[in-house]
Structure 1
Amino acid sequence: MTAGIDIDQFVTAIGDAIIVSDAKGAITVWNPAAERMFGFGRDEALGQSLDLIIPVRQRQRHWDGYEKTMRTGETRYGTELLRVPALHKDGHTLSIAFTVALLRGADGTVTGIVAVVRDETARWHEERALRRRVAELESASG
């Protein structure tokens, strides 16, 4: 317990997905919001690679960045929102946005990453429809 806050209760209660992965990218924490968002139960996700939710075409880029973060101990996504596609258990694509925090061992080396993830699929579709409509209106007027 930290400052009167039960961390396990917080991770379970929060509405955003909380996903923690170890230095190799294996999932070690998968909260109920992650279950709802991605469709995989806790027991299905724990111990699995993050590839579980990463589309095949994004994997090389993801792992290049992940390995660099593990090696350097630095990421810009602690303060910048990253928006990427993700996979649901049933195979459909989600649009997610997230930030991360690095977990460090006593010696300061990075031991894992915490991601706080929000499903922005509906927002993404709305923005896409608006962009299409603006293009249609511009083409009709010009």
Structure 2
Amino acid sequence: MKTNVNLTQLLDCIGDAVVVADAHEKIVLWNSAATRIFGYSEEEALGNTLDLIVPERQRQRHQEGFSQSMKTGTTRYGTSLLKVPAKHQDGRTLSIAFTVGMLFDDQGQASGVAAVIRDETERFAEERALKKRLADLEHP
């Protein structure tokens, strides 16, 4: 079955953020869910580096991993779901879960990454509260 899907419409109707960055960490694609989750408009995000959403304390580790992925053309995460802190425009910390995939140019060189991101902040807080409640009940 062949479908005629408008890619822009698809990216804007899904609930998860789709963020694409080039080999220099510059954001080149930012959908409406990314705006909803992180607070930055598409215009504010495009052309900025991923530091826009990476908390200060995670930046060095993130940059080292990103650089290594660009050199090797691989990511050690594959299709694993990553759970990390992120930063909202207003400065608050978010808990996000995402998958990341490598992008390649016509010569097979790594040219960037694509991430599909979900905001897990509320679920993570609920889970933490339930764990605390359980611990309190087990050890009064």
TM range (shorter): over 0.9
Partner of 1:40: 40
Could you tell me which residue of structure 2 aligns to residue 124 of structure 1? Answer: 124
Q: CA deviation at 1:6?
A: 2.0
Counterpart residue number, 1:89: 89
Name the Cα RMSD after superposition.
1.3
Instruction: Specify the SS of the correspondent of 1:4.
Output: coil
Task: Find out whether 1:135 has 2:111 as its counterpart.
Answer: no
> How far, CA to CA, are the matches of 2:65 and 2:41 in structure 1?
26
TM-score normalised to the size of structure 1?
0.93
Cα drift, residue 3 of structure 1: 5.2
What is the match of residue 27 of structure 1?
27
Query: SS at the partner of 2:139?
Result: helix
**Partner residue in 2 for 1:59:** 59
Does residue 103 of the first structure (1) align with residue 110 of the second (2)? no
Q: Give the aligned length.
A: 139
* Partner deviation per Cα, 1:55-87 (whole Å, 9 max, x = no partner): 000111111111111111111333100000011
Q: Which runs of no fewer than 5 residues in structure 1 stay unpaired?
A: none
| Separation in structure 1 between the aligned mates of residue 58 and residue 45 of structure 2, nearest angstrom | 19
Q: Which runs of 5+ in 2 are unaligned?
A: none
| Contact in 1 for aligned 2:100/2:116 (Cα 8 Å) | yes
TM-score, scaled to structure 2: 0.94
Q: Residue deviations 1:8-38, cap 9 Å, x none? A: 2211221110000000101000110000100
Distance 1:63 1:106 in 2: 25
> What CA distance in whole angstroms lies between the structure 1 residues aligned with 2:7 and 2:40?
22
Alpha-carbon distance in structure 2 between the residues aligned to 1:133 and 1:75? 37
1:138 to partner: Cα distance: 1.9
Per-residue CA deviation, residues 81-137 of structure 1 (Å, 9 max, x unaligned), is 000001111111110000011110011111010100000001100111111112212
Identity of aligned residues (%): 54
